[in-house]
Structures are given as C-alpha cells and as structure tokens.
Chain A
C-alpha cells in the first residue's frame, strides 16, 4: 500500500483494537482454515498477533494488529506475560527488604526503582539523608541512565538492521556494569540504594574508574553518530515514523523521552528537582517532531548530559557518612557488634523485624530513563508496607503504541515499539 493511502487512513478517533479474546480466536481460526489460506486473499483487514516471543518486541509483549495489506490499522498491546505479583510480594517484605524486590522490576535501570522506593520510605520516616549519600545516589543513577540508554541504542539499532550497533552498545554498557559490580557487588539488581542512604561507600579508586568511562565514551558516541545518526538509511527508517504531538502525548499520560520528543521540556530532574539535581548543570534534551528519530536522538544526547552530571558528581562529591546516623533505620557499624551485646541485638532486630514506619501515605517520583517513575506507598505503622504501587513509565507509555502505529507500515511498527523502549519486567511487575 502506498504511503499516500497510509496517510489518508491515519488516525481515526480510536486506534486501539478493542476486541475480546474469543473474537480474536475466531478470527484466527479462519486464518488456520486451509480453504481460507488457499483461497484468494480477501480485501478486508487481517488480524494477526505479533509476539509474544518475537525478538523485536523487547521481551514478552504481544500485539494484536489489524493489517490492511502492509499497513497497520488498529492494534492493542497485550501484556501480563511477566506478571509475578511484585506489588503483592512487596507487602510481605519489610521496608529494608523492599529494594531487593522493586529493583527487579525495571532490569535495565534497577537503581531508579530502588531510589524511588527509598525516597517514599524516607518521606514517611522523615529521615534526612547525608549529602554524600545523595551525591552517590545521583552518580549511580546517572551512570545507570547511561547504561540504560546504551542498551536502548543497541537494541534499537538491531531492530532497524544495524546489527553491529547491538555489539557496540552492549560493549559500552558492560564498562558501566563493571563499575556497578565494583561498587554494589552485582551487575544488575543491585539492592544498593537503601532507606537511609546507600548500602556501602564507594570503593577506593572509584574516581579512576568513572574518569575512564568519561574519557572513553565520547569517542564511542561519535562513532554511533557516524554509524546511525547521519546515515541516510537510518534517517529513512526513523524520520516521520510514529509521530505524536504534545497534546496527544499528555492526554495519553506519556512521560520521558516520548513526551520530550514532542518539544515538551518536561524532565522531573529540572522541573521538580529531587536529590541534588538543582545543584548540577545539565540541559534537558527535547525533540521537535515527536517521531522515532527524535526519540532516538534524545536518548543519545541524554547520555552526553548524564556524562556532564557524572563529571560534576566527581568534582563535588562531599565527604562524610554514606548513610544516615539515625539508629532507627541504620544498623550499628560492624565493629560495634563485636564489643556490644546491645548492638548485636539491635542489628538482629533491624534485619529480622525491620523498622517501623509511621502511618501515612506518600507519592514519590523520579525521572527514570523511560519517564516518570513513581512510588505510591501506604504504611499502617508496621514494619511492612500496607501497599506499594509502582507507577511504571513503560506500562503507561505502552498505551500510546496503537496511536503511534496507526496507519504506518508493519516494518515501521518494529521501529516504533523499539523507540518507546518498554522494559517488560516493569510493564508487568
């Protein structure tokens, strides 16, 4: 189908394919019927399922699509394949154990989920965290944003046929994960940010490791620019594909690069600063056309902005304790346990019973690489939360997908899914 026809049928009032599972099955049975297959293809739209296992769907995402020739009409993302009830699990874990659970939601940027959970807990506790902890959190989160965007560049490149990009992106990401391993002990699912601060101080020589990343990466980003940004095939595949306007994005509750690609300069780090983002200098990257290319270039340039923030964290990292001295939430130092019975009991109680959090409810939000990551936390005064709700940006952004894909080509659908950058662990939780 020519692009003119595709544009002509673009965007009716509702791009979402609202069809029950039974009706979809019936449509599928007709497709399986040998007579239907051997007969001349009809003119009507065809219903197909993309996924849930297709590698381009970034995890187990299934999209029911209505196709007219090669043009995508209505569609609907069908999710839940990775649902493991993590919000239910969170109600059975103490506040101290909470980050272990939530860090597994967005496995590409685990530190952000830990951060938002801890910010919510600290708000209910009324705990002030020391400046060093704040800056360590900021340093680690910005490095995590870089690694997450590098992963996006890798997978987005592969989805569009730049297979070499897959290797380059993973390679650079590995450098950052190696640093994470030296700080937190794990490459992913760190459980590093804890209520009251962070789990451990930065190791000796961390400055050298970070400086190494900061010196190596700019050249690589230049290479990515050569490989993709300026390349005609890349531009053809991404420019003008999956366009969304600012009003549409806001109506669909889209946040993050999806919203910023429309020219809306909404970045929580700038507009509602948390941690010490009001003390560092960085630019909010915005797009102009709201297309796939804008979303790609926003992420590429956000890596550069994150590098600026990391460099400032290097310069300004304050000295002092890395977690609060409040004995209510922080276990006694290891050395005290050897000499004091009370310290041993205290340590034991914190790790078995947990600490109590005053009753109340709160909402904390941070800017994750995918958008606004929120945590709505309700405490009934006990050591375990009454309710933990994670506002997952991937989950909400996925709603825009039918809208972005409507009237586009099937091949472009792959580019669009990739440009929304959903992490299915976070979508399904």
Chain B
C-alpha cells in the first residue's frame, strides 16, 4: 500500500485526479510535493503504527490547528473538515522522506489517542497542543499544562480566545 501511494505521488502530481490515492488504507494527498495522510480518529493510531513500522521512526512534531474561522478549507476528497485538526509530522531517517498526518477532531469531543506509546518524543508536543487548544490526548502519561500556568482558564490558541489586554493604570505626572 505504501508503494502505491508513493508511486502515484512521484509519477505526476498534476494529473492524478482519476482515483484518490491511498497510503496505509487512508486517503493520501500531495501538497506541493509533501505527502499528507488523512485518517479518521479511529484510524489515527493504526496509521501511526503502520508508519512507524514502515520506517518513519522519528516523530518530528505534533501540533493542533483551530479551523473555526477556516471551515471551507481543503482536506482530502470525502473528508469533512471539523473544527480542530491534529497534525503529526513524521520523518524517515533512512529513506529521507517526510509524512504528515492530519486528523480531523470535532469541537464537541476534542479527543484523540496519544501517540506517546509509539513515539515517546511526542510527549511534550502533545502536552503543548493539549495546553493551548484543549484537545485531550487519551492515555497520555502526563496530561498537565506545559506552557501556561496550571491554574489558567481557557486555551489561548483557540480562535474564540481573544488576544485581550491587561489594563494598565498610568500614573498621573506630579505637578500638572
């Protein structure tokens, strides 16, 4: 399966419209030469496991995106954009290839399985995504806040979280 997806991408990015290519059994798109997989939440861990077995041994990054103001964005055909997206970047050191995995996460149940059992290095990035977006990674070994204070309300990188400002009281200049 892996070869099918790779071959289709290598052949001609512009002309492969006839059939949606897949990799590890999930839709695969080509973003200007970068391979992107679109598993559902149920397939997410399985796809990560298959990718790890296929040589993608280094989990470069896990981050989240809030698509609240970008609902019309393009995902793979047949995949409905949800409010949140969890984006995982993987790296194959031997094959020198990258793979990106975009998983749609609905707003009413922001939860995905944690990848820490497969990639221990995903721990801190997942904590960051959980902290700043309020997406909970189930079975995460340390689901505490990482950047914000532990008693902080809200998740700052969500689009409905205002930038805000702290009112500053300027002192009047004496004698004026």
Interface positions of A (Cβ within 8 A of B): 14, 16, 18, 20-21, 79-80, 83, 85, 87-89, 92, 123, 126, 250-255, 264, 266, 271-272, 359-363, 365, 372, 374, 376, 378, 380, 386-387, 389, 391, 395-396, 398-399, 428-429
Contact = CB atoms under 8 A, between A and B. Distances in A.
Contacts of B132: 87
A359 B70 CA distance: 10
B6 interface: no
Nearest to B71: A380
A278 to B, nearest CB: 13
B36 to A, nearest CB: 8
B8 interface: no
Nearest to B132: A87
B56 to A, nearest CB: 11
A362 B32 contact: yes
Interface residues of B, number: 45
Given A80-B149, A88-B163, A376-B89, A16 B61 contact: no
Contacts of B124: 395-396, 398-399
Given A80-B147, A253-B58, A398-B124, A362 B70 contact: no
Interface of B: 31-32, 34, 57-61, 63, 65-67, 69-70, 73-74, 87, 89, 91, 93, 96, 98, 100, 102, 119-125, 128, 132, 141-142, 144-150, 156-157, 163
Contact of A363 (B67, B98, B120, B148): B98
Nearest to A380: B70
B142 A16 contact: yes
A387 B66 contact: yes
B148 A391 contact: no
Given A80-B146, A363-B98, A399 B63 contact: no
Contacts of B142: 16, 18
B164 to A, nearest CB: 10
Contacts of A79: 146-147
6 contacts: A80-B145, A87-B132, A89-B163, A253-B60, A271-B96, A361-B31
Contacts of B120: 251-253, 399
Contacts of A254: 121
A88 B148 contact: no
Contacts of A398: 124
A222 B4 CA distance: 53
B163 A251 contact: no
Contacts of A88: 156-157, 163
Q: Which of A18, A391, A429 has the most CB of B within 10 A?
A: A391
